[in-house]
Structure 1
Amino acid sequence: MNIQEALKNRRTVRLYQQKNVPDSDLADMIDAARVTSCASNLQQLRYIVIRDAKLVKEIFPLTAWANLVQPRRTPEWGITAPRCFIAVIASATANQVIYADAGAAIQSMQLMAWSKGLGCCWLGSIQRDQLK
């Protein structure tokens, strides 16, 4: 798949098959984010992969899934819910360019996932205080 095809054809996926994502695919996604350009080469982002079923189940209700998208595509636990999460985090004192850096890194992870036949969704609506 070339980059133009990936950019035009990649879609957000909100309903998932109940299969585990291979470790090598997750590592490739994190590596894609790691090598993505960042402002001033500050490299302020960190990535946490959550794949333990118990933790994923605890995190799942703390997420929101585009309630404005119609028809609604809200995943159901154990049927179409994600099997893992990748948290993109930074220090509370990080430089304000962190938001641009995070967007670029997440896009790189999404493109890598798509190239491997995986679907994903960028979630911004999460209950952050409960996740700390």
Structure 2
Amino acid sequence: MTTAKPAAKAAPKTSVKPVRIPAAATAAARAAKAAATSKPAGKAAAKAVAQPVVAEKASAEKQAPKAYRLLTGIDDENFCARVSEALANGYELYGSPSITANGGKIYAAQAILLKPVAKKKKKK
């Protein structure tokens, strides 16, 4: 005696349309991936690749400091030193710190705000 198996149900039709990604975005993504995976062909090529990174760091240092930052990391003396350095650079604590444990390590987060600069009063 054979048992008849129930017929498989057809998948329900959905009205989801495929998303078109602009050709420029995919080309840029391919170029970035190729640049990340390619190896420089010697010392001259390595220097050419390293120079733009140095220029980016220099321009980042010239920018004004951010008004709000969230410092995060493993709760150790390194994290405490980062918070202390920020306080010395004109930031103030904003709210309470947040602490959590994950995988046996304790992580901390602290929000900081840049202190507003006091405006000088004009003499009349």
Does the alignment reach a TM-score above 0.5?
Answer: no
Shorter chain as denominator, the TM-score bin is under 0.3
Larger proportion of strand:
2
**What TM-score comes out, normalization by structure 1 length?**
0.20
